[in-house]
Amino acid sequence: MLKIHNSLSRQKETFKPITAGKVNMYVCGMTVYDLCHVGHARVMVVFDVVTRYLRALGYNVTYVRNITDIDDKIIKRAAENGETIQALTERFIAEMHQDADALGVLRPDLEPKATESMPEILAMVETLIGKGLAYKADNGDVYYDVSKFEAYGKLSGRQVDDLRAGERIAVNEAKTDPLDFVLWKAAKEGEPAWESPWGMGRPGWHIECSAMSAHCLGEHFDIHGGGQDLQFPHHENEIAQSEGAHDCQSVNYWMHNGFVRIDDEKMSKSLGNFFTVREVLAQYPAEAVRYFILSSHYRSPLNYAEDQLEQAKAALTRFYTSLRDVEPQPELNWQDDKEFGSRFAEAMDDDFNTALALSVMADVRQALNKALENNEADLAAYLAGLLLSFGDVLGLFQQDAETFLVGDMAEDSDADAIDALIVERNQARADKNWSRADDIRDQLSEMGIVIEDAAGKTSWRRA
């Protein structure tokens, strides 16, 4: 039985969808003014696995991940580049999709944009003003009145008085309380703007998600996800907006993935330890990066370090090596397996514990290796099929094993030379010319080739 750690209750709860057999999930997506970084990759991979597992359990999942395509950073970057906002955002949406595709992340079912959601945003702001929860300030901005929402702070666990004590109203703001947040920004010269009952302007960041989630999934839906950094104030403000507008609970389960750290320091541009997905993928296979992300529980901090990436790549290589020489049993349902399947389900049912699920898969790999050593072909085929079916849930083993280990042979100009050296080495070993055999192994190693002798044959892969 699936249990999810609910950030709202701060404990694991048995998952029960609002509608039997149906799950509606909204995840805060990217603000598209730059390339995705490792933190974005974690969000994408984590909630991709949540979606995959829910579907494996038989749920009909509608997964919504929004795109913020208008805000201060986007306006500033477009001006710096001397390009239109639309050109900038469309370019980085394409770059985001490229990174997500490389990481094996399935496209969300719906991907609404803020600029295409103005009617819903305007309607929600009007509703909040009509209920006395928001007001138009003297500078033309519209603010949410936090003092009117008694439950403010329930997600983050923060007390309003404590929050207010640490906040100040900026000189250029006209809000009446330091905790009040902007719903609609009055237009500034040279900035894009839309018509509204309060004059030309554009939406604040928080209102976008409340409007888009309600439009796509309804006023009350099952799961809302995002990074831990969004829990306050963004998601706290979403609750105030959505529940204030609709007079009902907006979300049943709030999920937040942990921070990414770089060599045990918080990832930050100011510290110079900020990595884009594109930079990481230039050094490591995309699937190894995905494996690395899944090797920690999603709520735990994820420490990005080269040795961690190397370990992930080595672990993935061991899996592919075991799968290389076996034809897996097709159309295998892992949920029917009483041993490994039950353990895998137990791990994933425990708040999507992918780290534990990977350890179960490692046990399957060891059993597969033993079956291969004992020439138990049927058992090996079954275990290989089991591994691949687990992999489908985690988005792993999506490549042919030979391709992962060796590369595209059609484009590999060294392949024939490598095969010839291996034939020569095997002959040298047959002739007991150990010195020549060792020399060839060293030559292949210098070429970045690892050779492995097993079951009476020699195979090779890229180091």
**Mean of the pLDDT values across residues 211-220?**
98
Find out whether 269 is annotated in a ligand binding site: yes
Containing 256, the helix (H) or strand (E) segment is strand 251-257
Q: Is the model's pLDDT at 209 over the cut of 60?
A: yes
Hey, CA dihedral for 388, 392, 397, 398, is it positive or negative?
Answer: positive
Q: Give me 1's structure tokens.
A: 């039985």
How confident is the model over 324-339, as pLDDT tens digits? 989 999 989 999 999 9
pLDDT-based confidence at 455, cuts 50/70/90?
Answer: low
**Mean of the pLDDT values across residues 434-462?**
74
3-state secondary structure of 83: coil
What pLDDT is stored for residue 427 in this prediction?
74
Q: Which fold has domain 3-257?
A: Rossmann fold (3.40.50)
Distance CA 407, CA 280 (A): 19
What pLDDT is stored for residue 426 in this prediction?
81
Find out whether 95 is annotated in a ligand binding site: no
User: Which sequence spans correspond to the domains of the chain?
Assistant: 3-257, 262-404, 407-462
Q: How far is CA 331 from CA 380, 389, 395, in A?
A: 15, 8, 16
Average pLDDT, the chain: 92
- 440 with 460: CB under 8 angstroms? no
How confident is the model over 21-72, as pLDDT tens digits? 999 999 999 999 999 999 999 999 999 999 999 999 999 999 999 999 999 9
> Phi, psi (5° rounding) for residue 292?
-60, -45
Find out whether 248 is annotated in a ligand binding site: no
Q: Which fold has domain 262-404?
A: Four Helix Bundle (Hemerythrin (Met), subunit A) (1.20.120)
How confident is the model over 114-129, as pLDDT tens digits? 999 999 999 999 999 9
**Mean of the pLDDT values across residues 143-172?**
86
Find out whether 209 is annotated in a ligand binding site: yes
CA atoms within 13 A on the CB side of 89: 19
Residue with tokens 């097993």: 454
Q: Is the model's pLDDT at 267 over the cut of 90?
A: no
Distance CA 197, CA 396 (A): 50
Q: Is the model's pLDDT at 265 over the cut of 90?
A: no
Q: Is the model's pLDDT at 20 over the cut of 50?
A: yes
pLDDT-based confidence at 432, cuts 50/70/90?
Answer: confident
Nearest to 368 by CA among 334, 313, 326, 404: 326
- Within 10 A of 215 (CB to CB), how many other CB atoms are there? 18
Q: Is the model's pLDDT at 170 over the cut of 90?
A: no
Distance CA 17, CA 76 (A): 42
What pLDDT is stored for residue 412 in this prediction?
54
What pLDDT is stored for residue 415 in this prediction?
67
